[in-house]
């Protein structure tokens, strides 16, 4: 059930130009309570600029940003206190312990030390056993979890995460998802940018941004419905050489080679049996051919090509 009061962030027609270059061009976006929105797009698409605008680190040339249902020209201090921002370049104090870092950041947000919050965050991030460890001596994944915990000490309602999982190993990444998921359950809103589309599969809604414009803003399921194609998985011996030979065939909109199989993208009206016949005629020894659900990567590449491709 959503209502207007659930709207934590509303962005309307936001544009930003840097030195004649349009970084953002009329972007609309919204994030609701308990929602996890993922911002995806190629390098330089405008993801970081958008997050910096929301944080108040940049000013938009045009458009409006509403925080927590209130329209305002500039981010006020009251609203700012309800934001938590974690960038790729977040820096912990390496010579302070885990707990000292948490203390430091709560003071930075003008809050007295709140033992209960610190304990909860330590438990929440599974860092309690490491509370006395110097931040510099933590693994990459643990550092990132601590950085996230530091972003949460002032109990923000809207979390802005700019590519937070770069360089984090899969085990720590799972912990990271669990933390984000628990925050969602608590009704927090999360806006996260990522270059990894498998991460975006976990989002409530995905915003695809390309060359400063919003190409799509949908649930992962609805986004996949926009994909005008079918993905067929082909298992055969030597997929690599077949990839080269089949790439030029017009019937395939796209081909993707994996280590031990191929994905063939065909038009929606094309039947699996037609493709099977086609492949056998080409001389492919088909061990297995079946339709698989499209991934967000298929959709992403499709939508970017549709919008005029990557420059």
Partner 1 sequence: MSRLAVEAQGLSKKFGPFLAVDHVSLSINYGRIFGFLGANGAGKSTTIRMLCGLLQPSAGWARVAGYDVLTEADRIKKVIGYMSQRFSLYQDLTVQENLEFFGRVYGLNGSKLKSRITQVKELVGLQGLENKLTGKMPSGWKQKLALSCAILHEPEVIFLDEPTGGVDPISRRNFWELIYKLSEEGRAVLVTTHYLDEAEYCHELSLIHAGRIIASGSPREMKKNYFPGHLLELVCPQPLEIYEKLKTWSEVQGVSLFGTRLHILVEKESREKLEQKLKGLGLACSLRQIVPTLEDVFIHQLEKEAEKVKANGLG
Residue numbers at the binding site for partner 1 (CB under 8 A): 34, 40-45, 88, 139-141, 163, 166-174, 177-178, 181, 184-185, 195-198, 201-205, 219-221, 235, 240, 243, 256-261, 297, 300-301, 304, 310
Q: Which is nearer to partner 1, 79 or 162 (CB)?
A: 162
Give the nearest distance from C-beta 151 to partner 1 in angstroms. 19
Q: Which is nearer to partner 1, 43 or 269 (CB)?
A: 43
Give the nearest distance from C-beta 166 to partner 1 in angstroms. 4
Q: Which is nearer to partner 1, 72 or 178 (CB)?
A: 178
Give the nearest distance from C-beta 261 to partner 1 in angstroms. 7
For 263: left if phi > 0, alpha if psi spans -120 to 50, otherwise beta; the answer is: beta
Give the nearest distance from C-beta 258 to partner 1 in angstroms. 5
Give the nearest distance from C-beta 181 to partner 1 in angstroms. 5
Give the nearest distance from C-beta 244 to partner 1 in angstroms. 8
Q: Which is nearer to partner 1, 41 or 156 (CB)?
A: 41
Q: Which is nearer to partner 1, 177 or 267 (CB)?
A: 177
Q: Which is nearer to partner 1, 128 or 310 (CB)?
A: 310
Give the nearest distance from C-beta 308 to partner 1 in angstroms. 14
In whole angstroms, give the CA distance from residue 84 to residue 68: 14
Q: Which is nearer to partner 1, 154 or 263 (CB)?
A: 263
């Amino acid at each position: 059930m959503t209502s207007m009061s659930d709207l934590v962030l509303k962005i309307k027609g936001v544009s930003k130009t840097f030195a004649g270059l349009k970084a953002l061009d009329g972007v609309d976006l919204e994030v609701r309570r308990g929602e996890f929105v993922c911002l995806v797009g190629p390098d330089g698409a405008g993801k970081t600029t958008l997050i910096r605008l929301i944080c108040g680190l940049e000013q938009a040339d045009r458009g409006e940003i509403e925080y927590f249902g209130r329209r305002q020209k500039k981010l006020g201090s009251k609203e700012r206190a309800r934001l938590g921002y974690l960038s790729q370049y977040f820096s912990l104090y390496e010579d302070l312990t885990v707990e000292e870092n948490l203390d430091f950041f709560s003071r930075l947000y003008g809050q007295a030390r709140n033992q209960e919050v610190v304990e909860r965050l330590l438990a929440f991030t599974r860092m309690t056993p490491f509370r006395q460890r110097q931040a510099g001596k933590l693994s990459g994944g643990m550092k990132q979890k601590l950085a996230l915990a530091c972003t949460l000490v002032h109990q923000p309602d809207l979390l802005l995460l700019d590519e937070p999982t770069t360089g984090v190993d899969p085990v720590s990444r799972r912990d990271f998802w669990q933390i984000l998921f628990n925050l969602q359950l608590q009704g927090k809103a999360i806006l996260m940018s990522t270059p990894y589309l498998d991460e975006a599969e976990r989002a409530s809604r995905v915003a695809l941004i390309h060359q400063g414009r919003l190409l799509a803003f949908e649930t992962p399921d609805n986004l996949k419905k926009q994909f005008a194609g079918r993905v067929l998985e082909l298992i055969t011996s030597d997929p690599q050489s077949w990839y080269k030979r089949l790439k030029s065939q017009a019937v395939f909109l796209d081909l993707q080679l994996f280590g031990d199989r191929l994905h063939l993208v065909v038009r929606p009206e094309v039947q699996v049996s037609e493709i099977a016949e086609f492949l056998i005629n080409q001389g492919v020894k088909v061990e297995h051919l079946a339709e698989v659900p499209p991934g967000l990567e298929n959709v992403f590449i499709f939508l970017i090509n549709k919008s005029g491709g990557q420059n």
